[in-house]
């Protein structure tokens, strides 16, 4: 008797489960169809576009700032939008010009020989000490000037170089000897003028005049 009761209860439960399954078969079919469609879409979807990680300014930065880790952040750019000369290790280097937030750091944004990139052939980047620090402070990146040397004994003046481009004007002088007068600026000069400029910087009063076609101040 007990066995028949158990069989009957088991049969009733199977029938109840079957009726529930039949009632929800449409919903189950929709769920299975949705899963199948999602799996198909994932299979057919194109892979995410390739990107390159570059260092960009985390905030607006001024010319002459020495870059610290907190000044930079990573950005993912499409390979065709990555500028040439991207700087891989700019921390500790000095900015030659201002940098906007989100702008990639490239070699021509940092003080150094790479600043001469894009200048005429046979042009080199040369640090030059202008005797008057106040006069040097009037210069800005991109200014074009003529360099002049004046003998402090005779008062005679000599033109050292013409149409020189200012590459950078660091706001502070990093010279090891604070007793040195004037202020260093970084200029793009013709390679043939380097020796004359170097010699004059140690013996003469070196100043400049702006080119007529430079920006107004």
Q: Which of 63-67, 148-152, 157-161, 170-174 has the lowest mean pLDDT?
A: 170-174
Residues 55-91 as b/e (b if ≥16 CB within 10 A, e otherwise) read bbbbeebebbbebeeebbeebeeeeeebeeebbeebe
Q: What is the pTM of this model?
A: 0.56
pLDDT > 90 in the chain, percent: 24
DSSP letters for 147-179: EEEE-TTT--EEEEEEEEEEEE--SS---S-TT
* Pairing mode of beta strands 183-190, 205-210: unpaired
Residue that is written with structure tokens 């576009």 in the block: 49
Q: Residue 172 class from Cβ within 10 Å (0-12 exposed, 13-18 middle, 19+ buried)?
A: exposed
Task: Give me the domains of the chain, ranges plus CATH numbers.
Answer: 52-111 (3.90.1210.10), 123-210 (no CATH)
Higher model confidence: residue 162 or residue 111? 162
The pLDDT tens digits for 62-120 are: 877 888 999 999 999 888 888 888 888 889 888 877 889 999 998 878 876 666 666 77
Asked if 92 and 113 touch (Cβ cutoff 8 Å), the reply is no
């Amino acid at each position: 008797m007990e066995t028949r009761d158990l069989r009957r209860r088991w049969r009733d439960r199977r029938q109840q489960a079957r009726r529930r399954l039949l009632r929800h078969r449409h919903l189950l079919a929709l769920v299975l169809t949705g899963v199948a469609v999602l799996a198909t879409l994932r299979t057919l979807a194109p892979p995410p576009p390739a990107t390159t990680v570059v260092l960009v300014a985390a905030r607006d930065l001024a010319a002459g700032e020495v870059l610290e880790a907190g000044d930079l952040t990573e950005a993912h750019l499409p390979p065709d939008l990555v500028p040439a000369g991207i700087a891989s290790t700019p921390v500790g280097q000095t900015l030659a010009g201002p940098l906007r937030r989100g702008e990639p750091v490239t070699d021509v944004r940092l003080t150094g020989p790479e600043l001469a990139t894009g200048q005429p052939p046979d042009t080199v980047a040369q640090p030059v000490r202008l005797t008057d620090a106040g006069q040097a402070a009037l210069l800005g990146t991109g200014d074009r000037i003529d360099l002049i040397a004046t003998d402090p004994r005779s008062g005679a003046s000599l033109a050292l170089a013409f149409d020189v481009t200012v590459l950078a004007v660091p706001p502070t002088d990093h010279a090891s000897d604070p007793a040195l007068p004037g202020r260093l600026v970084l200029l793009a000069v013709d390679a043939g003028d380097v020796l004359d400029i170097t010699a004059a910087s140690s013996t003469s009063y070196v100043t400049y005049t702006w080119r007529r076609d430079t920006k107004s101040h």
